[in-house]
Amino acid sequence: MTQYTVDALTQALEAAARAFIASLDGGTQPKVTAPRSLDAGTPIKFDPLYDEPPLPFKVKGTHEESLMSTVIYLGAIGRVNAEKRRGANAQEVSTYAKKAGYGRGNDVNGWNLRKGVSKEGSAITVVDGLRYLHAGTHEWVRDLASQLNIEIVGDFTPLPIPATS
């Protein structure tokens, strides 16, 4: 029998509660405000799937605002991959793109083509219409979040990307 830690069980219960509330609300995610750090040395905990962004963000804003948009969008795609054990679908991509400040869901298609973000040659791979964040991109997003004094919470484990069809 597998032994689970209290933290793992708590995260699972929180995810289940959010999914339950979302289903009652017609599929919309509950709005949860990420706790702000009172001490500059303590990172702000942020779950890109469920929390409101803790810092100002804008796709084409200041350096910090642009970083925050990237953490919101790519963080959410990585969280979908890890939490749901699959790629993010078009509806999820649209939802999290808009949450990150992109005008339309398809405005983020460039992330599929950006070179140099990860050793795989792009930030995201699309397989059968589902988006998967590369392992190297996970590390990059964590680095960006760290620059903003943010800690991404929730499962953010890279998911193996299936072979393209």
HSE value, Cβ hemisphere, 13 Å, CA-based, for 64: 9
pLDDT value at residue 26:
57
Are the CB atoms for 125 and 131 separated by under 8 Å? yes
pLDDT value at residue 115:
47
**Which residues are CB-contacts of 106 (< 8 A; sequence separation ≥ 6)?**
94, 97
pLDDT value at residue 99:
94
pLDDT value at residue 42:
87
User: What is the block-wise mean pLDDT of the chain (165 residues), using blocks of 10 residues?
Assistant: 59 63 56 43 92 94 94 96 95 93 73 53 85 92 95 95 80
Phi, psi at 34, each rounded to 5°: -70, 140
The pTM (predicted TM-score) of the whole model is 0.72
Residue identified by tokens 């083509």 is: 113
